[in-house]
Structure 1
Amino acid sequence: MSSVNPLEYLGEHKEFLQRYNSGQLKVIFRYWEQVRWTRKAGTLAENVVRAEVNYWNNFEPGEVIKALEIHLNTPAYKMLRENYTRGILRNIKSAAPSSAGTQVKTSKNKFHNYQQRDYTKEELECAGKNTVNKYFESHGGLDEAEARAKKFLEDRNKRLESKAV
């Protein structure tokens, strides 16, 4: 196992990249130029480069290039190693078929569908009051909540007074 510059290695072993066109190859070489600097010496083991390129064979060339471009163009990913690109690739692969042609299920709650913007100010205030009233009813009523708040304040004041003495 020897460390190599991935660009030179791929240049010598073009059989790994036969399925990519010249524009895609430019992206691949830019990607390896960036990834190699995630190591101190700027070189990678041959088997790392070979394993990654072989892993890419599980995906369509367009998906691979899209993942590489995301890795290249996102500043937060600049110093992340090649295994991070595997996650990007898996997400691209899983996102495409599941979302194609399906409609997003909408919630029956208008607030979760951003339809609250259609409410008038009075309707929003009424909805807020109803929510508060339901909360207090489920917690012993408004009088009970006021009594608990009053007791809490009295206890806190006693503790503060005892610390001051």
Structure 2
Amino acid sequence: DYMSAIQIPKNGMFFDRQRRSFTRTVAEVLDNIWRIGGERGWYKTDWLWRIRGLMDKLVGGVGLRRGRRSPNHLRAGDPLDFWRVLVADRAAKRLLLYAEMKLPGEAWLQFRIVDNPDGSHTLEQLAAYRPQGLAGRLYWYAVLPFHGIIFKGMVQNLLDYPSAAG
């Protein structure tokens, strides 16, 4: 399966990882992950995502309002606001996005569900960033405080949000 070969680089990277165990069905959580962005929003602090999208548009980027092809389905190659879907593999319980916004570096956002030995499951969200030069490093440290606000709440809300599958 070629989708499993598409991975986030490991060298020269900064990472912000969030993990939460859950008792809901995997289908319910996947349903919420696969509906992220577009009209549904990003499950936490959508106003910060909109500001980031506006900033991107001001510097010639794609901005946030590209939306998505379908409200319920994602596939590799789809635009998703200012991200591009690299991997959308429900069977492997993995969604990998690549940032197309203007950045002093490259960014990825991955959602994965891991099956635990005890039969429970864990939602993992990984924000990864490869800075370019000093500007890239300064950017990472400037946005890092917002990660605590955005990503921790996003993971919890992905688990708590009502799902069409449930």
TM-score band (shorter)?
under 0.3
Q: Per residue, is there more strand in 1 or in 2?
A: 2
What is the TM-score normalised by the length of structure 2?
0.24
Instruction: Mark the structure with the bigger radius of gyration.
Output: 1
Q: Per residue, is there more helix in 1 or in 2?
A: 1
